Structure 1
Amino acid sequence: MLEKRKVYIYIGIAWTLIFAGMSFYWATGGMVGVRSLGGQIYKMALEKDPSLVPIVWLTGFVKLGGCLLLFSLLYPWKNDRLEKIFTIVIRIAGAFLFLYGFLNFITISLAALNILDFDLSSYATMWRLIFWEPFWMLGGILYWMSVKNTNGNQESKYERTG
């Protein structure tokens, strides 16, 4: 069971690094993919708005924090309380990532159906629905699955280190 969890942990770490890498790329002035975000973010990037750069750097570092959380699952903690805290935080992060993507998917879909009015081009709408929002949801699933079997019926410390 632990080996299956490790797969989710490692894929979650890779997902997080890719996600953070995109932020760092954009923070350094990269423009590939920015149009797919659409809306105000795209406008600010086009205008080279200086207030956007520190925000994008910050989001990259916050995303790297997710890597630290996932790496914490690979360490055989001697303090069960600390391990439980990491597990809860990762579950909350996973739920947030999934719900963020899911709720954005719903609202952007409603905008595409002209039920809501968004300042989003059809190009950005397409990319948000086929890539960005599902990407957020995938991250949430990976985070959640990385701690799926850590509720009450945890493996013993000996099973987890092997």
Structure 2
Amino acid sequence: MQRSYWFIALGIVWTIIFSGMSFYWAMGGLLGVKSLGGFIYEMSLNPSPSFVMIVWLTGFIKLLGLLLLLMLLIQWKKPIITRMLYYVTKIIGALLFLYGLLNFITISLSVFNVLEFDLDSYATFWRLAFWEPFWMAGGVFYFFSVKKSTI
């Protein structure tokens, strides 16, 4: 397996920012949360303890991506570990990208009144201009962190 250290580094930075946002919001920060819109925004205004716990948990789950990317930097002696890391990284990258892309498509369809969402124009703008492309960028960083070696 060949590694792309630039994509690994970008993925690490992306993951830290991504999980950091969850930790910030879990501690009660509200900057940027209105851009998410809908139910999440409403819940963040007067969060229940279970909602706060979920936001903390999502931050820690996001940090698992950091572990994965750091594991790519190790020269593993067992080929099965290398193969597993390769496929897990590719799958996670593809899923992150697809999640952002599908959200982008569905929110775009709501802009043209094909679908109906509970998003105001502020949240719709930020979801299309930042959040969904942010998910897709993370997917690209993970996906291209590794490539199969011809050896």
Inter-partner Cα distance in structure 1 for 2:150 and 2:65:
24
- Cα separation, 2, equivalents of 1:15 and 1:90: 15
Q: Give the superposed CA RMSD.
A: 1.2
Aligned to 1:157: none
Q: Secondary structure at the match of 1:17?
A: helix
* Number of aligned residue pairs: 150
Query: Partners in 2 of 1:127 and 1:50 — Cα distance?
Result: 27
Correspondence for 2:39: 40
- 2:56 maps to which residue? 57
**Please, what TM-score do these two structures have when normalized by structure 2?**
0.96
Higher RCO (CA-CA < 8 Å; seq separation 6+): 2
Q: 1:22-50 deviations in whole A, cap 9, x for unaligned?
A: 00000111000000000100000012232
1:127 corresponds in structure 2 to 126
Q: Which runs of 5+ in 2 are unaligned?
A: none
Task: Give how far 1:152 is off.
Answer: 4.5
Gaps of 5+ in 1: 155-162
* Residue 67 (structure 1) aligns with: 66
What's the CA shift string for 1:63-91, capped at 9, x where partnerless? 10000101111101111101111111111
- The aligned residue for residue 83 of structure 2 is 84
Post-superposition offset of 1:153: 1.7
Letter of the 2:50 partner, please give it: S
The offset of 1:52, in angstroms, is 1.3
Equivalents in 2 of 1:141, 1:105: separation in Å? 15
Query: 1: CA distance between counterparts of 2:10 and 2:145?
Result: 9
Question: For the structure 1 residues 109 and 95, does the alpha-carbon distance in structure 2 shift closer, same or farther, using more than 3 Å as the test?
Answer: same
Identity across matched positions, percent: 58
